[in-house]
């Protein structure tokens, strides 16, 4: 991996909720341009934009109707070019979301494809005949609920959609599909875009023969990823994409790989394979799954989080380090404490994740400790997934209150509320009513406040990122877990031949005693503490305050 990629720090901007520049309640490209310095000053140098392309927005833009057109609600192509050049002037790179496991059903390819079996696009999607009784080819369910197959009378066939029925899956086995995708990629790369985050990329290669999936817990449908996660030709296609496109540009390729084990992930990212630079793994996002999967009423155990993150650190030479994104609840609400210790735990979570080996990813709002939204009525939620899940939970006899609580804990809307810029109405996000409500705590939690306070979460992120940037050992150094039997503290070291740092993080709301790793005893220097004031040198024991995180150097 070359130097700039190693030093990349990625800020994910959920565009429609980042900054509205023209008062229509929707975040836009111009708004992003206004805030480039904000992102740069934080210490990020790459911005990943969630999809900004033409889309009917059934899944907030992850359903694309035209890959080469900007959705007018975000601005124009000229605005985008301006964003690109302004960002480049400031030394910031721009990464786009490439959503090519599926398109929107409004894409011209699909509109043609569904007409009949004889047109140019008829084989662009995954079509299968009905069973003899006319029912769907298999029992596969979609990620958002219901069957993954939808019937089209014109073809007397079903098409596959792992996600919403308005998101038909592309047929990557068709070389023309792959070619068209490569052309789209080159269109943006030739314009100067610096890389892609590739949505659901582990699903692109489908099994040649679809089979029924085993049904768990009297569910009606089989798991959506059955047979499609890491399908038969996935690596052949990614190597081809690398050869045909990526290798010709100096760009970054980040794959989103749900339902991929660490062993399988190696195949995507080990440099000699010439596929991608890194992947987003999901294992650590499953630490609080339960009987109803993600939407269960379960709280994570720190040791599970630690085991999962460490096993990925040990398996891959480079990781994408993240705790939250636009699909996940707010990290301080999920893994920290969004009440009394919001500030403390938000800082600690940043240390624990961003200093592991790999690329740090910061999702907008994390840097000021934004929290989950707690809605009181299901109608207040926007996300289609939340509604489908709520109905499913209710159908299983779960009470309204319990179902709402389960959805509130995990809904993707938690991450999608508008960015809280200041204490003015609508949190300074927009002058009008935003497309989605602002978290009512915006007067307490906002950027303006954090920028003023030297002890804020924002300023602490700056410190962490500076530390990473100024210490080669944090870029290249080997990751080692210190101990795996401590229930309160997640500690790891980063080391090269001569240098060694220890990152020590408490996950509990009380003071704990921590015995330093032997090689740090009596010889350590404090580099960073989330409490800021911890100047005393520790001999062999450290008393960590609630959710305290520290970085020490071996002397």
**Which does residue 22 bind out of Ca ion, ligand TEU, none, counting CB within 5 to 8 angstroms by kind?**
Ca ion
Query: Which pairing describes strands 10-13 and 358-363: parallel, antiparallel, or unpaired?
Result: parallel
Closest contact distance (angstroms) between CB of 428 and Ca ion is: 14
* Least separation in angstroms between CB 143 and ligand TEU: 5
Q: 142 vs 251, 378, 434, 536, CA distance in Å?
A: 33, 21, 30, 55
**Smallest distance from the beta carbon of 75 to Ca ion, in angstroms?**
8
Minimum CB–partner distance for residue 77 and Ca ion (Å): 16
Burial call 259-270: b when 16+ CB within 10 Å, e when fewer: bbebebbebbbe
Question: DSSP letter string over 70-111?
Answer: E-TTT--HHHHHHHHHHHHHTT-EEEEEE--SB--TTSHHHH
In the complex, least distance from residue 300 CB atom to ligand TEU, rounded to whole angstroms: 16
From CA 465, how far away is CA 366, in angstroms rounded?
Answer: 14
Site string for Ca ion, 27-66 (x = CB under 5 A): -x--------------------------------------
Output 277 or 383, the one with its CB closest to ligand TEU: 383
Query: Residue 99 touches which of Ca ion, ligand TEU, none (CB < 5 to 8 A by kind)?
Result: ligand TEU
Active-site residue flag, 425: no
Residue with smaller CB distance to ligand TEU, 329 or 369: 329
Shortest CB 302 distance to Ca ion, Å: 40
Closest CA to 520 of 538, 543, 545: 538
Annotated catalytic residue within 63, 79, 256, 383: 256
Secondary structure of residue 447 in the 3-state scheme: helix
Element (H, E) at 465: helix 457-470
CA distances from 118 to 114, 115, 131, 210 (A): 10, 9, 22, 23
**Distance of alpha carbon 541 from alpha carbon 544, whole angstroms:** 9
Is the CB of 20 or the CB of 344 nearer to Ca ion?
Answer: 20
Out of 199, 288, 366, 486, the active site residue is: 199
User: Interface with ligand TEU by CB under 6 A: which residues?
Assistant: 59, 62, 99, 143, 163, 199-200, 256, 258, 294, 326-327, 385, 412
Choose from ligand TEU, Ca ion, none: what does 59 bind? Cβ within 5-8 Å by kind.
ligand TEU
Name which of 200 and 420 has its Cβ closer to ligand TEU: 200
∠141-142-148 over CA atoms, to 5°? Answer: 70
Measured distance CA(382)–CA(416) in Å, rounded: 9
Query: How far apart (Å, rounded) are the C-alpha atoms in residues 537 and 522?
Result: 8
CB of 282 to ligand TEU, least distance (A): 7
By C-beta, is 326 or 554 nearer to ligand TEU? Answer: 326
Which of 10, 15, 26, 323 is close enough to bind Ca ion by CB under 5 A? 26
List CB contacts of 89: < 8 A, sequence separation 6 or more. Answer: none
CA distances from 418 to 17, 159, 375, 405 (A): 4, 35, 15, 22
Q: Report long-range pairs for 377-383 (Cβ below 8 Å, ≥24 apart).
A: 377/404, 378/403, 378/404, 378/407, 380/437, 381/407, 381/411, 381/413, 382/60, 382/413, 382/416, 382/435, 382/436, 383/60, 383/411, 383/412, 383/413, 383/416
Beta-strand relationship, 524-529 and 512-515: unpaired
Contact 494, 503 (CB under 8 A): yes
Residue 293 DSSP symbol: B
Shorter beta-carbon distance to Ca ion: residue 22 or 296: 22
Number of residues that bind Ca ion (CB under 5 A): 5
Taking the complex as a whole, the smallest distance from the CB of residue 73 to Ca ion amounts, in Å, to 7
Q: Which does 524 bind (CB under 5 to 8 A by kind): Ca ion, ligand TEU, none?
A: none
Q: Which of 153, 98, 107 lies closest to 127, judged by CA? A: 153
> Which of ligand TEU, Ca ion, none binds 35 (CB below 5-8 Å, type-dependent)?
none
- Select the binding partner of residue 199 from ligand TEU, Ca ion, none (C-beta < 5 to 8 A, by kind): ligand TEU
Q: How many residues appear in the chain? A: 555
Residue 163 partner contact from ligand TEU, Ca ion, none using kind-dependent CB cut-offs of 5 to 8 Å = ligand TEU
Please indicate whether residue 519 is annotated as part of the active site.
Answer: no
Give the residue nearest to Ca ion (CB): 28
Least distance from C-beta 17 to Ca ion, angstroms? 11
Residue 501 engages Ca ion in binding (rule: CB under 5 A): no
CB-wise, 344 or 366, nearer to ligand TEU? 366
Site for Ca ion in 5-24 (CB under 5 A): 20, 22, 24
Q: Could you tell me where the DSSP H helices lie in 224-296? A: 234-244, 262-269
CA 555 – CA 553 distance, rounded (Å):
6
* Identity of the residue, 142 or 371, whose beta carbon is nearer to ligand TEU in the bound complex: 142
Q: Report the site for Ca ion in 185-204 (rule: CB under 5 A).
A: none
Q: Which does 169 bind (CB under 5 to 8 A by kind): ligand TEU, Ca ion, none?
A: none
Binding site for Ca ion (CB under 5 A): 20, 22, 24, 26, 28
- Would you name the residues annotated as active-site residues? 199, 256
């Amino acid at each position: 991996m070359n130097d700039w990629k190693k030093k990349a720090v990625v800020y994910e901007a959920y565009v429609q909720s980042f900054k509205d520049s023209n008062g229509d309640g929707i975040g836009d490209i111009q708004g992003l341009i206004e805030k480039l310095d904000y992102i740069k000053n934080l210490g990020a140098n790459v911005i990943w934009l969630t999809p900004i392309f033409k889309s009917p927005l059934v899944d907030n833009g992850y359903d694309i109707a035209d890959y080469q057109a900007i959705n007018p609600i975000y601005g124009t192509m000229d605005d985008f070019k301006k964003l690109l050049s302004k960002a480049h002037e400031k030394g910031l790179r721009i990464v786009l979301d490439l959503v090519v496991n599926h398109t929107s059903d409004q894409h011209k390819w699909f509109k043609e494809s569904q007409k009949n079996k004889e047109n140019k696009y008829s084989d662009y999607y995954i079509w299968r005949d009905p069973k003899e009784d006319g029912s769907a080819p298999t029992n596969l369910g979609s990620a958002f609920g219901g069957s993954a197959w939808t019937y089209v009378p014109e073809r007397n066939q079903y098409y596959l959609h792992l996600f919403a029925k308005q998101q038909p899956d592309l047929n990557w086995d068709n070389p023309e599909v792959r070619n068209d995708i490569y052309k789209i990629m080159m269109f943006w790369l030739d314009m100067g875009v610096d890389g892609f985050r590739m949505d659901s990329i582990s699903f692109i290669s489908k099994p040649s023969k679809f089979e029924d999936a085993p049904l768990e817990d009297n569910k009606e449908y089989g798991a959506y990823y059955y047979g499609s996660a890491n399908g038969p030709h996935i690596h052949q296609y990614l190597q081809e994409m690398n050869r045909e496109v990526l290798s010709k540009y100096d760009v970054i390729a980040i794959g989103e790989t749900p339902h991929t084990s660490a062993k399988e992930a190696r195949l995507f990212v080990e440099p000699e394979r010439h596929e991608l630079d890194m992947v987003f793994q999901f294992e650590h996002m499953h630490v609080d799954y339960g009987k109803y999967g993600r939407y269960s009423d379960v709280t994570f155990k720190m040791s599970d989080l630690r085991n999962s993150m460490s096993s990925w650190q040990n398996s891959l030479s480079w990781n994408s380090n993240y705790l939250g994104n636009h699909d996940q609840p707010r990290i301080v609400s999920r893994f920290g404490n969004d009440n009394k210790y919001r500030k403390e735990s938000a800082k600690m979570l940043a240390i624990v994740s961003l200093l592991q080996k790999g690329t740090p990813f910061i999702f907008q709002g994390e840097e000021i400790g934004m929290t989950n939204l707690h809605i009181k009525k299901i109608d207040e939620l926007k996300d289609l997934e939340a509604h489908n899940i709520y109905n499913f939970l209710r159908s299983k006899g779960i009470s309204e209150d319990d179902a709402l609580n389960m959805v509130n804990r995990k809904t993707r809307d938690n991450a999608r509320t508008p960015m809280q810029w200041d204490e003015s109405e609508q949190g300074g996000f927009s002058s009008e009513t935003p497309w989605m409500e602002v978290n009512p705590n915006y007067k307490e939690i906002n950027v303006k406040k954090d920028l003023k306070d030297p002890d804020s979460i924002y300023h602490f992120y700056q410190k962490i990122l500076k530390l990473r940037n100024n210490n080669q050992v944090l870029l290249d150094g080997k990751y080692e877990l210190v101990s795996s039997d401590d229930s309160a503290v997640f500690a790891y070291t980063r080391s090269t031949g001569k240098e060694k740092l220890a990152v020590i993080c408490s996950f509990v709301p009380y003071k704990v005693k921590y015995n330093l790793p032997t090689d740090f005893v009596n010889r350590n220097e404090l580099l960073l503490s989330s409490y800021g004031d911890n100047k005393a040198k520790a001999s062999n024991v450290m008393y960590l305050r609630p959710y305290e995180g520290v970085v020490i150097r071996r002397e």
